[in-house]
Amino acid sequence: PTPTKPTAPPSTVTRPPVINRAAWGADESAVKDPPEYIEKVKAVFVHHTVGTNDYSCAQSASLVRGIMTYHVETEGGNDLGYNFLVDKCGQVFEGRAGGIDLPVRGAHTHGFDGDSTGIAVLGDFEGDPATDEPAGRPTRAALESVARVAAWKLGQYGGDPAGKVTLTAADDTGVWKKGDQASLNTVSGHRDGFATVCPGKNLYAKLGEIRRYASGAGRNSAVPTGDFNRDGITDLIAGTPQASSSRGRVTVVPGGPDGPVGASRISLTQTSTGVPGTSEAGDNWGAATAWGDLNADGHADLVIGAPGEDDTSGNADRGAVTMLYGPKFTSGTDMQLSDDFHYPGARFGSAVAAGDFNADGKADVFAAATGTGGSWAARLDPEHESGGSLTSGDTAIAYPDAASGDFNRDGYADVALTYRDQAGKGKVAWFRGGRSGLSRVGVLSVPGGRSVAVGDVNGNGYDDLVVGQPYTAESGAHAGGQVTVVPGTSTGFTTTGMKTVHQATSGVPGAAEAGDAMGWSVAAGDYNLDGYADVLAGAPDEDITRADKNRKDAGTSLLLKGSSSGLTGSGAKAFSQDEPDVPGSTESGDRLGSSVTLADLSGTGRASLAIGVEGEDSGDGTILQLDSGSSGVPGSSGVYYGRTLLGTPAGARLGRSLTP
C-alpha cells in the first residue's frame, strides 16, 4: 500500500448516491493515520456487520458511527474497516476515509485487503442458535445497492462482476496459505477469503443475485426511493385535487421512526414558491402523484398530475405534469408536451408513474391522458420524450392508474397502466423499459380495473402486477370486486400462477356483495417480513351494519398475504373504523379505502398501512395509518391524520389519493 493519493479513474458504471462521512457523522478526530491506497480494485468482498436486524433506517447513521467506534477503540484499527456500508433500505454509506472514488485500502478481509474493496450490509444474516437469534433476510433494496456499488468500483478497473479473479494471499487466512494463488469470484463473500461465517448464510446465498444484477442494466439504474429528505424512511404523499374549488393541493408527510410526522408536513399548491403554473379552479393539481429521483442527487422528487390545467392557448383541461425537486420542492419544471397533447380535454396527467426506464441513473416520468382515445408520454429528459395513442377510438377513456416496476427483471423499469376503454371494459397496457426508454408492448389478456400496484408477491425476484378490479361491468370481476395478481417473468407477464382473491375466497373477511368495490385502490408491500409482498385493497363502498343500523358506503380495507404460490386469502385481515381498537367510528359515506398504501413509513423494513377515508367529516377526509410489527398490525396502533393536523382545506376529501 502507499499513502500517495492516486488519480481516480472513471468508471463504466454510474455511481449510486453515497452518504458521505460528514453526513453520517464520522469522528475524524479518531483517525490517527492518513489513508493508504492500493493499485486497483480487483475484487469485492461482501460482509455483514452482525448486530441487530431490528432497526429503523433512520438509525443507520448511528449504527455506522457505532461500528466505527468498535473498529477503532475495541479492535485497535485506524478507521472503520469497511469501504462501504449498506442498510436494509438500500442507503449506501461511505466507510473508510480516503475518497469513495479512489482505491482506498480497507481492513475487512485479512489477506486480501491489498486487492479489494469491502461492502458490509447492516444486520445479522447468520443468526445464533445458541441464543435463538434468527438469521435476517437481506432485502432486495440492500442486494441491489450492494450490486450497484460493486459494479461501479469494478467498472473503474475493468473488472467483471460475474467473472473470476486470481489473488495472491498476503497472509494465512484459515482458508488460504500465505502466497497461495486464490481463485475467487470477483464478487465474493468474506468467508471465501477468510475463515468466518461472514456474510452469513442468508446473504451468502444471495451473492449470485448480486453478481447477476451487477452485470446487467440495473447496475446503472436509479435507486428507487420515496425518501425526499434522505433520512432513510419513505415519505407519504397525500393528493387533494378537490381542495379549494378543485385547484388542488399536495401534502408531503415525512416518515419517521414512529410513523409519518404530521406536524412536519409540507403543503404545496401552484402558488407555492418555485412551483410552475398558476393555481386556478378546476386544475385538479395532485390528482395523480409519484416519487422518483429525477436528478440523481439521492433525494426523492415529486411528480404531480393536474389533468384540469388549461394552457395559455385556450385549450381547457389540456392537463399538465409538474416535477418538483426534493428536498425543498422550491424548484421544478413542467413536462414539455408534444403537439399531440395540445388540444382541449386531453386531461394529460390523469395518471403518472416514475422509474428509470433507460437505466441511466436518473428516474424518468410516465404520464397518461384520457382525451380522444387516450394517449401516453414518457420523458427521459427535456430533449427526449416518447409517446403514442392508447386506443384507436376518438372518445375519451376513463379511470387510468399507473405503476412502475421491473416485471421482467432486466434492469429497466417498466410501466403498467389500467384504464376503462370506450366500451366500458377494463384494460391493462404494458410499457417495457429499454436502452432507448419506454415502448408500448400491448394490452394484456387480463382485464383491467381501477387501480394497479407492483410487488414481488410470490417472492421469486420478479415484480408482479396487482390489479384492483372493483366492478363486474368493466372487468368481469366477482360480485363486490376482486384483486388479481399477474406474475412477472423473464419474458414479461404470464397467466401461469395468476391468482384472484375476493370476499368469497376462503379466509377473506366479509361477504362479497355487489357494489362493495373491493379493488378500488390497491397497494403492495411486505408487512410481516416473510419475503413476500402482501396486498392491501380498499373496498370504499362496503356497507357496514352496527347496532342494527346500516352504514352505507362506510368502507373497509382488506390485507391479503403473499406466498410462494402467489396471493392467498388465508390469514387475511380487515381494517375499518368498526374493527376492535381502531380509532374513530364507522359512518355512512366515509368511503374508507378510497386510497391505500402499503409502504415502510417507519424505516423498519416492514410495510405499514395508510388508508384514505375521503368522505370522513362531511368530505373533509382523513388518513388512517396503522403500524406493522412482530405481532402483526394491531388496531391500537392506528393514528388519524386529518384536516387539523395536515392543514388541508374544508371539503378537500383528504384520503382520495395516496403515494406510495
Kindly report, residue by residue over 475-506, the tens digit of the pLDDT. Answer: 888 989 999 999 999 999 999 999 999 999 99
Q: What is the mean pLDDT of residues 231-255?
A: 97
Q: What is the 3-state secondary structure (H, E, C) of 345-389?
A: CCCECCEEEEECCCCCCCCEEEEEECCCCCEEEEEEECCEEEEEE
Q: Quick one: which of 448, 524, 440, 458 has its CA closest to 496?
A: 458
C-alpha cell at 660: 406510495
Give me the residues paired with residue 466 across strands. Answer: 453, 485
Whether the per-residue pLDDT at 34 is higher than 80: the answer is yes
Q: What is the mean pLDDT of residues 26-50?
A: 96
pLDDT of residue 583: 85
Whether the per-residue pLDDT at 3 is higher than 80: the answer is no
How many angstroms separate the CA atoms of 325 and 294, rounded?
8
Give me the residues paired with residue 290 across strands. Answer: 303
The pLDDT-based confidence of 393 (bands split at 50, 70, 90) is confident
How many angstroms separate the CA atoms of 554 and 439, rounded?
41
Kindly report, residue by residue over 411-431, the tens digit of the pLDDT. Answer: 999 999 999 999 999 999 999
pLDDT of residue 467: 98
Mean pLDDT lowest among 333-337, 406-410, 459-463: 333-337
Q: Residue 490 region, left (φ>0) first, then alpha (ψ -120 to 50), else beta? A: alpha
Mean pLDDT lowest among 256-265, 303-312, 386-395, 588-597: 386-395
C-alpha cell at 497: 400462477
How many angstroms separate the CA atoms of 136 and 116, rounded?
26
Give me the residues paired with residue 555 across strands. Answer: 592
Whether the per-residue pLDDT at 383 is higher than 80: the answer is no
Length of the chain: 660
Instruction: Write the DSSP string, 259-289.
Output: S--GGG-EEE-TTSTT--S---TT--BTSEE
Give the rounded percent of residues in the chain with a pLDDT score beyond 70. 100
pLDDT of residue 2: 63
Kindly report, residue by residue over 149-175, the tens digit of the pLDDT. Answer: 999 999 999 999 999 999 999 999 999
How many angstroms separate the CA atoms of 575 and 570, rounded?
16
State the pairing for strand pair 187-189/43-48. Answer: parallel
pTM, to two decimals? 0.94
The pLDDT-based confidence of 360 (bands split at 50, 70, 90) is very high
C-alpha cell at 542: 362496503
pLDDT of residue 477: 87
